[in-house]
Amino acid sequence: MRKSWWKVLTFIILLYVGSVGFLVKIPLLDDRLQQSIRNLFFHVPMWIAMMVLLGVSVFYAVKYLRTQDPLDDIYSLEFARTGLYFSILGLVTGMIWAKYQWGAAWSGDPKQNGTAMAILIYCAYFVLRGSMNDIDKRAKIGAVYNIFAFCMLFPTIWIMPRLTESLHPGGMGSQGNPGLNPNDTSEGLKIVMYPAFIGWTLLSIWIATLRVRYKLLAERKAARQPII
């Protein structure tokens, strides 16, 4: 039970976010945003969870290149895989928000295009790993590519969209409410938003660790099977 306290905390936080998030009074900042700002409790935390997961993944990728420990490769792989899931969730929740704010789920905005590029780069990581049968070679090349993919997150998602005309908050010529702006974020939003960041991040780590455990169990089971 002592080792599971953070899992209980995750459940409580997300229960709080999922209930209070739909009940808390929100500021009507403009005619289009209105109630759709509640997506702030889901959309932005997906990106934070993604960055944490992919950051942990690249940490283990670097560690594997130093230690050559297969366990580090498994951690790197499964955290990257879970990070990809959360990046897709971030994109989908963003498209839902864009539908209400911009009139279309996909408008070719630089932020959307950059996110799609980042997702494709990580998809190529899994394709690359799947194309090789040699375990050591797959792990080494995968680790190197993982580092490259993580570095590409910054220009595709965080830098380029801010240097070009964009509808997304934070970009040049952007319109609307940047949800993390203290001047536009009410106290009611903050009491749900910050726990949402923590809760979704903890959930993502929980899922990733479960995937690691499943992977280890599958490999142990395969190792015990007789060779025919």
Q: Tokens at residue 197, please?
A: 């960041």
The residue ranges of every structural domain in the chain are 39-170+192-222
83-135 pLDDT per residue, tens: 999 999 999 999 988 888 888 899 888 889 999 999 999 999 999 999 999 99
99, 87, 51, 122: CA torsion to nearest 10? -140
Quick one: 16 exposed, middle or buried, by C-beta within 10 A (0-12, 13-18, 19+)? middle
- DSSP string across 40-104: GGTHHHHHHHHHHHHHHHHHHHHHHHHH--HHHHHHHHHHHHHHHHHHHHHHHHHHHHHHHHTSS
- Whether 176 shows a pLDDT value over 60: the answer reads no
Q: What percent of the chain has pLDDT over 70?
A: 87
* pLDDT of 178: 45
- Whether 1 shows a pLDDT value over 80: the answer reads no
φ, ψ dihedrals at 123, nearest 5°? -60, -40
